[in-house]
Structure 1
Amino acid sequence: MSLPRQAVVEQGAAPTLSALAFFFVMTSYYIMRPVRDQLIGAVGSESLPLFYIAVFVVMLLLTPVFGLLVARFPRKRLLGWSYSFFILCLLAFVPAFVEQDRLGARALGVVFYVWGSVFNLFVVSLFWSFMADIFSSGEARRVFSLIALGGMAGAIFGPLVTKLLVQLIGVAPLLLVSAVALALALVLLLRLSAQHERRPDSRGDEVIGGSLWAGVKELWSRPFLRYMALLMLFGDGIGTLAYALVADYAKAHLADAVARTSFYNDLDLATNLLGAALQLSVTPWLLVRRGAGWGLVVPSLVNLALLAGVALIGGGSVLFFGYSVPLLAVMLVITRGFAYGMTKPAVDALYTRVPRETRYKGKNFVETAVWRFGDVVVTSAVSGLRLLGWGIGGLALLGAGVAVLATMVARRAGWSPDLAPDEHARIRADEASSI
């Protein structure tokens, strides 16, 4: 008698290979990320609305392009072409960063920030769409924390590599190292896709088809996607508030590209250490024992507590990795740590319970266009409120109100009526009915 599908997957190499692939994806991303963020630190938060508007426009233009690729090409070709394109782009940006001082941080920053957001669409988000395609709901709750932990290891390793190399080789050559890591991830993902296609229940070689605008249409027709979009906007509001204020600190206190890259690198390292600790302890227990919905609710409650504390105490400064930084930078580390270490595995586990077209098109639309729309709204609102005289305490109090709304939406999203039944819940129900 053959083993059940879940036993075959968990006893096989797929979870381990997936974790290793995500390790290289996040290593690549977190080597590239401080290179991008030092450009933000060079110009300050007043330029963030310009950056985010450009990203949002590009995301809207790319939505039908991504829908076309998903509708026309099977999974393996979609992965191969997307990752190969970004490997070549990383190599092409090296000469531009060699000439950063001549080109100017603002001009290069707009181009590279937009490109980095497209990177997120076709690399990071596509990775998790692929994971939701090859694992079932029950498998996802068991192995997604392991896979996310592999990514978190890469998110820690990437900043460590950057911290070691940036003083030795400078900023531009870091992109070469990022390209190598992404190429290794592609090799592993293609191997995973080939292994999955050999399984009798695989649909990986099938073209998903459907409408080019399916991601946009499903946002209005599918309650789960609406909840995900709202949760994305609320979470983005909290994170972008802290990010904008930290950008002002970097502009005021860090004069050169190397210092800013090291500073943002240290923030990323602290964030990812926290995320890894969560994935090794609380998150697996919570997802398996209590369900993926609680992985959305708990981080929202943590954000609420943090923002309420900042509203009462104020911004101030603390010693953080050898730097005197605003207290909101510490809040940024904690909120991001919970987002990566708990919210993300829970969200991706829930996406295993929607149709394939939703996993690719709907998910990517929420995680790119909706996310970047939130960036535009939040940064513009923060700039406007600061011109009206709002300080850190008032902004944090407003953020606490947003965290209350996020908690309510998270509760609805985790138990949305249009999600397919969870495998473990169905098994428990069957066992109860047989007694």
Structure 2
Amino acid sequence: MSLRHNARADERTGLTLATLAFFFVMAGYYMIRPVRDQLGGAVGSQSLPLFYAVTFAVMMLLTPVFGWLVARFSRRRLLAWSYSFFIACLLAFVPAFVAQDRIGARILGVVFYVWVSVFNLFVVSLFWSFMADIFESRQARRVFPLIALGGMGGALFGPLLTRYLVYALGVAPLLAVSAATLALALLLLLSLSARDEQAGEGHAAQPIGGSLWAGVRELWSRPFLRYMAVLMLLGDGIGTLAYALMADYAKAHFVDRVARTAFYNDLDLVTNLLGVVLQLSLTRWVLVRFGAGWGLVLPALVNVGLLMLVAVFGTGDLRILGALVPMLALVLVATRGFAYGMTKPAVDTLYTRVPRETRYKGKNFVETAVWRFGDVLVTSGVSLLAWAGVGVGGLGLIGVGVATASAWVARLAGRAPDLAKD
């Protein structure tokens, strides 16, 4: 029998491998995030629509490619090829970042933003599709918060290591260290896949099959995926608004790439600390006691409160524990912390209740192409509203409405009629 039906003793072995793998995935990812974000901080929010538009176009082109790979290759081969490709890419980017000043932050930013988004499709999102294939729904509610907690551990380790290395070595060598962590994650995932295949689950070693456009088609045919797409757009509206405003703040306050990288790294560190606190204190209890749907609703309600603060107080500094903290930093940390610490494990738990093809193709289409479309929409909208004279308070009020709608859609998603019984 596979991990989806094994006793808890065997489940713990799979959980350990998955948790360690996600630790290394997120440690590597959070080493390249501040490298990416310092490029946005170098050019400001006016260049973000270009970054996101190119990213969205590339993701639309790659969606059928991903569908073709999933349809024809087993998940073991898909994992091995995908992760190995991105390890090679990370090493290839090292000389480009050594020459960042000659290449220019705008050109390198477009390329690297696109690459990190593709990384998200073939590495981070593929990881969770694999987890939804390994564990059944009831197991997922127990183990996904723990796997996510391992990832949050990596998301703390990555920024802590980056904080030291960026000053000692500079920006470019961080990519080589990230490649090493990704290689460790791949070894663990291949071991986990081999265990599941040996346990006798017939579909585990087989390609998923189906159409290469299945992810797009299922978006229109499955109510659950439609809710997920709308929820992604609404949630992205809040997060991208804060991110765009923070890019302008970083451009105004930090003049060199090391300082910008360190600043964004510290934001990630505090964000991930919040995510860990949520995982240890609230998330698992909410998912087990009330179901995954409430794991989507609660973060949306938190966003309503945060954006009301922005609407009232603007972007001024707040004094927290004796230190002045920009309001935007507080909003960015809190929205991301709840997204990573509660929303993400809740979403991935719900995906255990849909067919395999939906877990891989539909899920990845929503979490990449739809997500990046939202980035283009929001950053362009922010630029247009700023041109029209709408201030931060007005943007905050708009955000309150978006967050309220997000809470309503989240509740519907948890009750979608096409979800299998829990």
Q: Give the Cα–Cα distance (whole angstroms) in 1 for the partners of residues 3 and 399 of structure 2.
A: 49
Q: Secondary structure at the match of 2:404?
A: helix
1:280 counterpart residue number: 280
Displacement after TM superposition at 1:6 (Å): 4.7
Q: Give the Cα–Cα distance (whole angstroms) in 2 for the partners of residues 9 and 298 of structure 1.
A: 32
Displacement after TM superposition at 1:207 (Å): 1.1
2:133 counterpart residue number: 133
Displacement after TM superposition at 1:5 (Å): 2.0
Equivalent residues of 1:38, 1:260 under 8 A apart? yes
Give the partner amino acid of 1:223: P
Equivalent residues of 1:19, 1:148 under 8 A apart? yes
Q: Secondary structure at the match of 2:106?
A: helix
Change (3 A) 1:32 1:341: same
**Larger mean Cα displacement after TM superposition, 268-277 or 2-11:** 2-11
Equivalent residues of 2:4, 2:136 under 8 A apart? no
1:433 counterpart residue number: none
Q: Secondary structure at the match of 1:205?
A: coil
2:160 counterpart residue number: 160
1:86 counterpart residue number: 86
Equivalent residues of 1:9, 1:15 under 8 A apart? no
2:302 counterpart residue number: 302
Displacement after TM superposition at 1:273 (Å): 0.2
Displacement after TM superposition at 1:12 (Å): 3.5
Equivalent residues of 1:218, 1:358 under 8 A apart? yes
Q: Give the Cα–Cα distance (whole angstroms) in 1 for the partners of residues 324 and 41 of structure 2.
A: 16
Equivalent residues of 2:3, 2:10 under 8 A apart? no
Equivalent residues of 1:228, 1:366 under 8 A apart? yes
1:40 counterpart residue number: 40
Q: Secondary structure at the match of 2:96?
A: helix
1:20 counterpart residue number: 20
Give the partner amino acid of 1:198: Q
TM-score between the two structures when normalised by the length of structure 1: 0.95
TM-score between the two structures when normalised by the length of structure 2: 0.97
Is 2:412 the partner of 1:412? yes
Give the partner amino acid of 1:76: R
2:312 counterpart residue number: 312
Q: Give the Cα–Cα distance (whole angstroms) in 1 for the partners of residues 298 and 42 of structure 2.
A: 35
Q: Secondary structure at the match of 1:13?
A: helix
Give the partner amino acid of 1:382: V
Q: Give the Cα–Cα distance (whole angstroms) in 2 for the partners of residues 118 and 11 of structure 1.
A: 31
Q: Give the Cα–Cα distance (whole angstroms) in 1 for the partners of residues 339 and 3 of structure 2.
A: 35
Is 2:183 the partner of 1:183? yes
Displacement after TM superposition at 1:326 (Å): 3.0
Equivalent residues of 1:10, 1:139 under 8 A apart? no
Q: Give the Cα–Cα distance (whole angstroms) in 2 for the partners of residues 71 and 129 of structure 1.
A: 14
Q: Give the Cα–Cα distance (whole angstroms) in 1 for the partners of residues 105 and 251 of structure 2.
A: 12
1:109 counterpart residue number: 109
Change (3 A) 1:321 1:268: farther
Q: Secondary structure at the match of 1:281?
A: helix
CA deviations over 1:209-228 (Å, ceiling 9, x no partner): 00010000000000000000
Change (3 A) 1:321 1:156: farther
1:171 counterpart residue number: 171
1:346 counterpart residue number: 346
What pairs up with 1:60-79 in 2 under 5 angstroms?
60-79=60-79
Q: Give the Cα–Cα distance (whole angstroms) in 2 for the partners of residues 3 and 183 of structure 1.
A: 24
Give the partner amino acid of 1:274: L
1:100 counterpart residue number: 100
Equivalent residues of 1:196, 1:202 under 8 A apart? no
Give the partner amino acid of 2:292: A
Instruction: Compute the RMSD of aligned alpha carbons.
Output: 1.7
Q: Secondary structure at the match of 2:251?
A: helix
In structure 1, runs of 5+ residues without a counterpart are 423-435
Equivalent residues of 2:3, 2:199 under 8 A apart? no
Equivalent residues of 2:25, 2:182 under 8 A apart? yes
Is 2:379 the partner of 1:379? yes
2:56 counterpart residue number: 56
Change (3 A) 1:323 1:365: farther
**Larger mean Cα displacement after TM superposition, 13-22 or 193-202:** 193-202
Displacement after TM superposition at 1:199 (Å): 1.2
2:265 counterpart residue number: 265
CA deviations over 1:53-86 (Å, ceiling 9, x no partner): 0000000000000000000000100000000000
Displacement after TM superposition at 1:319 (Å): 5.9
Is 2:220 the partner of 1:220? yes
Q: Give the Cα–Cα distance (whole angstroms) in 1 for the partners of residues 118 and 9 of structure 2.
A: 31
CA deviations over 1:180-200 (Å, ceiling 9, x no partner): 000000000000000000112
Displacement after TM superposition at 1:169 (Å): 0.4
What pairs up with 1:190-269 in 2 under 5 angstroms?
190-269=190-269
Q: Give the Cα–Cα distance (whole angstroms) in 2 for the partners of residues 323 and 392 of structure 1.
A: 23
Equivalent residues of 2:354, 2:419 under 8 A apart? yes
CA deviations over 1:311-346 (Å, ceiling 9, x no partner): 122210246899865302210100100000000000
Change (3 A) 1:78 1:47: same
1:124 counterpart residue number: 124
Give the partner amino acid of 1:91: L
Change (3 A) 1:10 1:316: farther
Equivalent residues of 2:3, 2:135 under 8 A apart? no
Q: Give the Cα–Cα distance (whole angstroms) in 1 for the partners of residues 246 and 4 of structure 2.
A: 50
Q: Give the Cα–Cα distance (whole angstroms) in 2 for the partners of residues 115 and 288 of structure 1.
A: 36
Q: Secondary structure at the match of 1:5?
A: coil
Give the partner amino acid of 1:345: P
Displacement after TM superposition at 1:368 (Å): 0.1
Equivalent residues of 1:249, 1:326 under 8 A apart? no
